[in-house]
A and B are shown apart, each in its own frame.
Chain A
Amino acid sequence: MAKFDYVLAKTLEDAVHLLNEPNIRSIPLAGGTDIYVAIRVNPIWFDRLVDIRRIPELSQITQEGDVVSLGAAVTFSHAIANPILQKVAPFLVEACSTIGGPAVRNCGTFGGNVSNAAACADSLPALVCLEAVAHLRSPKGKRQLKVEDLVTGPHETKIESGELLTHFTFKVPPEKARSCFIKIGRREAQSISRLSIAVIGAVDSTGMVDYIRVCPGAAVATPVRFPHVEAVLLGKKPDEEIITAAAEQLVVDMIVSTGRRWSTEYKEITLKAIAERSLTKIFLEDGQHVN
């Protein structure tokens, strides 16, 4: 068993201080659902875990005006039961409910999901669609980065050593926007996404798409929006034909990004299907209403 030290941070300042003590490699611990798995088989890359779970402001979900703030140590179970998120970001809640099983959801956090940055992380596509901004703090001060920009590759982020991811903020999506999250896993629980997709969109008074965000999960190296796909839809009437065109564009863009891999033959069919289904859900059926 790997040997390392553990310390409980009582305040945000305390946590930042502990993460930056010299001569001891410290990393934050929230739910631990990724760290505990990783240290079973990987050489240990830290000397100390700084537990941030008891810092009250890191576990808060608040709304001020049209800005929602989501603490990095908010667990998925907490999010699923939260009225603010249920109201303004139902597809994020839906995504959280597909993660692991109850035990994992009781521990796992948004901060952990984002900083672990797995290509198949289930909360990321919706966060990217919401254009969520990650707030980081270090002794040098505070900085902000879009989640989409923060994640640079599978298990790679721009979070620097000693920097603490404290919370996310995102603007409440437009009224009348509808959202949807679909996950394809090999089984119904404790399942890693084979593919997923988050979409949120709205139409204007003439029925034309005036707001659309599309982000698949586990399709490319990092969860990103697909601007060409969104461009296909923007300003158009979202009928079956245009939805199919958008889904086909998504598959083209995925292959441009990843090249043809062992799994492409499967993913190109399935991604198209879940893109069509999710877009159909929000534009042609009763997708989950935002607001």
Chain B
Amino acid sequence: MANLKYVGHPAQRVDALDKVMGKTKYVGDMSIPGMLYARSLRSELPHARIVKLDVSPALKVPGVVAVVTSDDFMNHSNFGFPISDMYMLAYEKVRYVGEGIASVAAETPEAALEGVKAIICELEPLPAVFDMAHALDPDAPQIGPNRTDGNHPNYIGHYPVYKGNPTEKLQECDVTIEQKYETVMQEHAYLETEGGLAIPTPEGGVVVYLSCQSPFIPRNDLCKVLGLSADRVRVIVPPVGGSFGGKDDLNYQTAGQVAALALKAKRPVRMTFSREESIIASYKRGSMRMNIKLGADQDGTLRACEFRSLYDSGAYSSQSPFTSWRASIHAMGAYRYEDCTVDIDTVYTNTGYAGAYRGFGNTEVCSGIEQAIDEMADALKMDPMDFRLKNCLKVGDVTPHGQLLSESVGLTDCILKVRKMSDWDRKRKEFASQSPSAEKRRGIGVAALFHGTSLGAEGLDEATATIEIHSDNQVTLTSGLTDYGTGARTVYTLIAAEILGIKPERILVHNPDTNTAKDSGPTVASRTTILAGNSVRVAAQNLIQNLDWAAADFLKCDVYQVHRVGEDYIGPSEEPVSWDIIVKHAREMGLVLSAFGRWTAPEIHWDEEKGTGIPYFAYHFGAQVAEVEVDLKTGHTDVVNIWAVHDIGKVIFPQGAYGQLYGGISHGLGYGLYEDLDYQNGYAQSINFDTYLIPTSMDMPEIKGGFVEAAFSAGPFGAKNIAEPSMVPTAPAILNAIANATGRRIRKLPANLERVMLGKELTKKGSPFSCKVALKIT
């Protein structure tokens, strides 16, 4: 892999210039003649039966052209994976505040809103459950679908990992700790809110431009709920203004609504969300309550972990079965244990709903386990770095799941490197000698992580790319996976350029389009570089065989005699021939100048009952250190520095990797210090960025990042991933630093002013007012 020309070298992000110059067109920028504006009637109650739904008054509102409800779909618009518990529009019941009930298309956004207000919708309130601890009470009102296996209908699933018997082992350990940790809901806060534009086709089908992650999911859902064949539904993903896991289920409902309205009105229909509607209607990172027991010997050997937790999925299961599973796999942290069990139970409530969000369960459990690891180190009077180094996973270890780690485990190197970068040992000592009466105190904390790459045992894991050389010699690439701001297009471009030996400027990556790209599964789980990157690699390798053959033919030699210098081909005559001439020659030879590349991930398996197996084919590792200054008299925490070293395998696109790292850390800092999408009796208490606080640039510390490139042999050029894991350890590193500064531990996120100062939350009485008002404004 020596002498790479593009991979691993500084590169300009392929979509940067258009974005910086404001040329990029998002769904909300699209407007076509005859286009209607859509608006949804959304539930103002957290749990209710739809007693009456009469849309005829809406159709009498001037400007209103069409209205749809669940009656306008096949099977009442039921969809959802892995549990089909959702509807494009509510059927019979609503289960959270903000759930769509009917959708109106009109000549103007104002008329659409008037139409929504004119709909007669009588809701009969039902008893609701807001506390996950009571979701499974025998008399708890039913939220989830009927089930026949005897389980409570509000029960989504149980996600275990079992190795030995930690309950017994804990009794043998010199030191044990037991603590409860809690996380709260987090809003994705993507810059672009949800939106979709549907255009009816002359054949009776529909084309949908959808701001989403995974176009084949809504394509397949739309076929199902609209009763259309695959050739009649086309989903195109325009540039997406951020997602972080948030542009799945809710915006598939948007797709269903605009598609049904477009078919009914026989006109294009666009729906875009206001920020308030987005925050009220969209799913969040779910909240989790954890109970962690750890056991270790006095010499610092970690021996046992017993992890139990409850996860609140809210009104719908969405991705929670997968989130909970990923949480279970990562709950014990990146450490060796003799005995380790994890039990996560996931339930329905009427508190909004939880879905995918960067880190996908690992962000939640890491904030618990990495604090517990620090608490154990404290109990052992060991340095947290030393304790982690002694127990962390290394090549040759068997994980608590029973997986032998045979390569690409860079955690020790990450910890050693971040320890040095942060000047950890000097600062730990210095901060320990601060005056006990000082009002402002410094602290430094570390958190480590592992993060399984790609889907793991969630399902089939493969991707397909296409590559083509056009008549003007431009090279185009397609992938079924989306670049929703991550930089994936640049990654594909650099990989293809490297293999084809051509300049990246020659390559264009198309927007994902279900008519031209191949279904490659969902764009989730930080899988794009490995899966799509590998499929691009294979496609380019397939294509270059024809070019090499054409070059040999042109140069009148064997393929092995052909060499490349820059883009040029050189044969025994040593006269360089340009790439364009070789392409022209290949065309004249009648060779196909396009190729597919498909890559399937190595086989893995998971036994859901026994809680053992090989959950992921590779792991990302990393460690972050946060330095804070805490004002004990105001509760204000200033994060002064963050150092982050991650083992992401081979770095393909350095600026992109650092961009992901910094962005992830800002997400993690918000999660640690500010963010709490609080629901009171089912009503979101923050519905805009005036009260839902995310970090500003003024809140971000200096970040020093570094990478350990422990190559993963099956990854493209040895690459693994970075997108999600970059945020995972930030919050616990900050919490550990606060504990180091203050001597007090905050076990419920976020570490806001009141929790830091008083050690507890002060709560204001909640109000449904903002949600109700915001659902009725343009």
By a beta-carbon cutoff of 8 Å, the part of chain A in contact with chain B is 1, 37, 40-41, 101, 184, 186-192, 194, 262-263, 265-266, 269-270, 272-274
Alpha-carbon gap, A266 to B752, bound state (A): 12
Q: How far is the CB of B590 from chain A (nearest CB, A)?
A: 60
Q: Is the beta-carbon distance between B777 and A40 smaller than 8 angstroms?
A: yes
Closest residue on chain A to residue B770 by CB atoms? A41
Which residues of the partner chain B approach A41 to less than 8 Å between Cβ atoms? 770, 773-774, 777
Which residues of the partner chain A approach B635 to less than 8 Å between Cβ atoms? 266, 270
Q: Is the beta-carbon distance between A101 and B770 smaller than 8 angstroms?
A: no
Which residues of the partner chain B approach A265 to less than 8 Å between Cβ atoms? 758, 762
Known interface pairs A1-B778, A194-B753, A266-B757. Does A274 touch B634 (Cβ–Cβ under 8 Å)? yes
Q: Which of B630-660 contact A (CB under 8 A)?
A: 633-636
Closest residue on chain B to residue A270 by CB atoms? B634
Known interface pairs A266-B635, A266-B757, A270-B633. Does A190 touch B764 (Cβ–Cβ under 8 Å)? no
Main secondary structure, interface of B, reads: loop
B485 at the interface (CB under 8 A from A): no
Q: Is the beta-carbon distance between B698 and A269 smaller than 8 angstroms?
A: no
Closest residue on chain B to residue A266 by CB atoms? B754
Q: Is the beta-carbon distance between B764 and A186 smaller than 8 angstroms?
A: no
Indicate the size class of the contact surface on chain B.
20 to 34
Closest residue on chain B to residue A39 by CB atoms? B777
Alpha-carbon gap, A40 to B758, bound state (A): 35
Q: Is the beta-carbon distance between B699 and A262 smaller than 8 angstroms?
A: no
Which residues of the partner chain A approach B774 to less than 8 Å between Cβ atoms? 41
What are 6 A-B contacts with C-beta separation under 8 Å?
A: A41-B774, A101-B696, A187-B693, A188-B699, A189-B696, A192-B690
Q: How far is the CB of B170 from chain A (nearest CB, A)?
A: 37
Which 8 interchain pairs have the tightest Cβ spacing?
A273-B633, A188-B698, A189-B698, A189-B696, A188-B699, A270-B634, A187-B699, A184-B634
B110 at the interface (CB under 8 A from A): yes
Q: How far is the CB of A220 from chain B (nearest CB, A)?
A: 17
Alpha-carbon gap, A97 to B332, bound state (A): 46
Q: How far is the CB of B546 from chain A (nearest CB, A)?
A: 55
Which residues of the partner chain A approach B695 to less than 8 Å between Cβ atoms? 187
Alpha-carbon gap, A269 to B757, bound state (A): 9
Q: How far is the CB of A22 from chain B (nearest CB, A)?
A: 29
Q: Is the beta-carbon distance between A266 and B762 smaller than 8 angstroms?
A: yes
Q: How far is the CB of B292 from chain A (nearest CB, A)?
A: 29
A186's partner among B633, B753, B777 (CB-CB below 8 A) is: B753
Q: Is the beta-carbon distance between B699 and A37 smaller than 8 angstroms?
A: no
Q: Is the beta-carbon distance between B762 and A187 smaller than 8 angstroms?
A: no
Which residues of the partner chain A approach B773 to less than 8 Å between Cβ atoms? 41
Q: How far is the CB of B189 from chain A (nearest CB, A)?
A: 13
Which residues of the partner chain A approach B162 to less than 8 Å between Cβ atoms? none
Which residues of the partner chain B approach A187 to less than 8 Å between Cβ atoms? 674, 693, 695-696, 698-699
Closest residue on chain B to residue A194 by CB atoms? B753
Q: Is the beta-carbon distance between A262 and B763 smaller than 8 angstroms?
A: yes
Closest residue on chain B to residue A187 by CB atoms? B699
A190's partner among B110, B276, B696 (CB-CB below 8 A) is: B696
Alpha-carbon gap, A289 to B777, bound state (A): 49
Which residues of the partner chain B approach A270 to less than 8 Å between Cβ atoms? 633-635, 753, 757
Q: How far is the CB of A116 from chain B (nearest CB, A)?
A: 14
Q: Is the beta-carbon distance between A184 and B753 smaller than 8 angstroms?
A: yes
Which residues of the partner chain B approach A194 to less than 8 Å between Cβ atoms? 753
Given contacts A41-B773, A263-B762, 19 further A-B pairs with CB under 8 A are A37-B690, A41-B774, A41-B777, A101-B696, A184-B636, A186-B693, A186-B753, A187-B674, A187-B695, A187-B696, A187-B698, A188-B698, A188-B699, A191-B693, A266-B754, A266-B762, A270-B757, A273-B439, A274-B633
